[in-house]
Structure 1
């Protein structure tokens, strides 16, 4: 048979052959959204952030709320990647300490691209930050934001005045939506102990105050501030000066305060909309009339569903007790002891002489607590002069995480062991705000 009389292959066959030659398996897979999303779901958050740069289509798939919510839920609880440490200088400055890799702790100013002033972190919760910024020209005005430092997304909260403290609540294993609770001053009408006790069961615990307070809530899916009407107005201690230490744990927001005559925690259960006081650990020094050291340190933090409390009242003691409250418990247990003596042997700069008593004291601050999947993986992060170190509770070993190099305005090179007032967890997350 001549070549001219050969029967040609059907067009569909030729098309299939050409498709098989010109299209690689990777391209075919990339064209199937379901398969691609399944593959992407196995990647860590950090890798997913980089994958958004591959193409507009990949970015659209990864930033889709359905996908990001699925990732957050499947990987919960997300690991703590690092800590933001707030400086003491007039210019708001943070240093970032990585818990994943050894690297230099660099000073930085957290800013939004469209805002002229630095942001101040108020609270960190499961990958989201509650922040505030001053507003020009009146620096007493504040804008409050919920910010995801991983995705750089932010939401401006509606304005609110006469507030004492704000607290962020976000549990991605339960809901992709977050809430912000506001402890707000009401009217001044309480003038006697009897009237105070009739306002709220919580009020009877405290000394009488002329001010009443209530709680308001903003929800990311429901909108503007509303008053929580199921909670009656209540009073707070007259000696109360600071409620900035707030923690979200076990479905409730907690406001901690430590005053001359009070050590309390105000707890608001979100689902039940109930307010109560949470007891703090009973410490030995409370048996004595002597007041704690001037430099008393306290630290409260949530990690992997448990609440942790640390308080230092004797800077001359090498023993650092760590208390823990589990989700299904209402009492504190003494979970760990940190012995500072081995740490002092390796880093002698931690030991100093108190200038007015000449006694030996330990110079440190607690800046982080990381609970691992097992106790053997759990550790505490301490700020000692010029560096941050982590101490493993079970192995009793420690490791230097980073050095605190001096910044432009830091003339002591991070030598002040109270150099960071607050620390905030950094958790990589795709949560939408």
Structure 2
């Protein structure tokens, strides 16, 4: 036998099979690759990917992955609006996506009025606030409909958390900033006590304090007392609440007050934030202002915006923005309603008791552009329709139409109703 036949040829080192890695290590390496690929997908696609397998679902719903996705994509774009109907439990959904195809919008985005419900709860949901993809909600507890349960709800993942019982609260507010923490907090403005000013006087004073529930720390705990000067003697409605710039803001409106209570969640500092005083044309006695007809306050991509309409016969609509210091409002945009009314003549109506021409609309959304001011727009609710108006180009487009509901008495679905942002999010609640 020749020496050549007795010589064994070794396989190249690169071709040898390594068996040193354990099966768990191999699976972990594959998971890392998969998670890296998944991290580039939109949140809507990730939600669908959870249906691929139990393994995929486990990876996508893992808090470490979801928190990484949320923080990397923050601020998340606004996908749509929940528009409150004539009843608290009735909502219409207005999508802000895929608006280039009007036919698709007409068929898919203009939804009929319907209650929002949890899958495992018999009562409809009432939305109180929307913050960065999470909703603060309440619903009744059968059989006693006077009892209320409060929830933090993620409408994208359908997850919810029942908040601990709380009574004698004036208002609740949700704070959630996924760029800073995966945890959320709910703040409660509560009545502390009622005591007489003097033994011989029947006048009473109401005192307030703030409590907090934290998703990572648990039950309600008292934080600070609210100075008596920070709130009017009689608080009627503080349901307009906004989380902005690291603080919760409770707005109230009255004939002699245009302020809001601001509470910084990090420093626990309480201060009063004033709203811009607008020109109400009080010298024009022939055409008095419709004081407080329409007010809109919203946060979008880290900025706070305020709109107030006191004269429905005026085609001018001014948008104010608050600077990041929280001290000064300035005029940001101006909207001329005339071109919009020319395209949608149903906006023009005659006031029955003055016979003057008025514009029928309400502001239901404000969207700051992802890249520049060119893509920033306002969403208006006009009779039977929702339209978007771009500030810079001064162009507009119909988003969807609304069909009258039985609650509307067959009339046009229209009114000054609140709306809540829908933001797709994987945030855990």
TM-score band by shorter chain is: 0.7 to 0.9
Query: Aligned partners of 1:292 and 1:158: how far apart in 2?
Result: 44
The reply on whether 1:266 has 2:271 as its aligned counterpart is no
Aligned residue pairs total: 402
Q: 1:421 matched to which residue of 2?
A: 417
CA contact (8 A) 2:43 2:424 kept: yes
SS of aligned partner of 1:57:
helix
Gaps of 5+ in 2: 18-25, 100-104
TM-aligned CA distance change 1:268 to 1:358, over 3 Å? same
TM-aligned CA distance change 1:69 to 1:262, over 3 Å? same
Query: Aligned partners of 1:161 and 1:234: how far apart in 2?
Result: 24
Q: Kindly report the root-mean-square deviation, in angstroms, between the aligned alpha carbons of the 2 structures.
A: 2.7
SS of aligned partner of 1:369:
strand
The reply on whether 1:179 has 2:165 as its aligned counterpart is no
CA contact (8 A) 2:341 2:348 kept: yes
The reply on whether 1:226 has 2:221 as its aligned counterpart is yes
Q: 1:341 matched to which residue of 2?
A: 338
Query: Aligned partners of 2:281 and 2:29: how far apart in 1?
Result: 67
Q: 1:279 matched to which residue of 2?
A: 274
- Aligned-residue offset at 1:236: 3.0
- Aligned-residue offset at 1:233: 6.5
SS of aligned partner of 2:57:
helix
TM-aligned CA distance change 1:50 to 1:354, over 3 Å? same
TM-aligned CA distance change 1:70 to 1:225, over 3 Å? same
Query: Aligned partners of 2:193 and 2:158: how far apart in 1?
Result: 38
- Aligned-residue offset at 1:136: 1.2
The one-character-per-residue Cα deviations of 1:182-202 (angstroms, maximum 9, x if unpaired) are 01011112627xxxxxxxxxx
Q: 1:201 matched to which residue of 2?
A: none
- Aligned-residue offset at 1:406: 2.4
Deviates more, 1:244-253 or 1:95-104: 95-104
Query: Aligned partners of 1:251 and 1:391: how far apart in 2?
Result: 29
The reply on whether 1:389 has 2:387 as its aligned counterpart is yes
SS of aligned partner of 2:139:
strand
Q: 1:143 matched to which residue of 2?
A: 149
Query: Aligned partners of 2:237 and 2:225: how far apart in 1?
Result: 25
- Aligned-residue offset at 1:288: 5.7
- Aligned-residue offset at 1:408: 4.5
Q: Which of the numbers 312, 315, 319 marks the counterpart of 2:309?
A: 312
Deviates more, 1:129-138 or 1:236-245: 236-245
Query: Aligned partners of 1:232 and 1:380: how far apart in 2?
Result: 36
SS of aligned partner of 2:45:
helix
Query: Aligned partners of 1:114 and 1:350: how far apart in 2?
Result: 41
Which protein has the bigger strand share? 2
CA contact (8 A) 2:230 2:271 kept: no
Q: Which of the numbers 177, 192, 195 marks the counterpart of 1:189?
A: 195
The one-character-per-residue Cα deviations of 1:71-127 (angstroms, maximum 9, x if unpaired) are 00000000000000111137x211000000242321221101221110000000000
CA contact (8 A) 1:249 1:305 kept: yes
The one-character-per-residue Cα deviations of 1:136-157 (angstroms, maximum 9, x if unpaired) are 1221110000000000000000
Query: Aligned partners of 1:253 and 1:295: how far apart in 2?
Result: 23
Q: 2:363 matched to which residue of 1?
A: 366
The reply on whether 1:170 has 2:180 as its aligned counterpart is no
Query: Aligned partners of 2:16 and 2:53: how far apart in 1?
Result: 27
SS of aligned partner of 2:194:
coil
Q: TM-score, normalised by structure 2?
A: 0.87
Q: 1:159 matched to which residue of 2?
A: 165
Query: Aligned partners of 2:9 and 2:398: how far apart in 1?
Result: 71
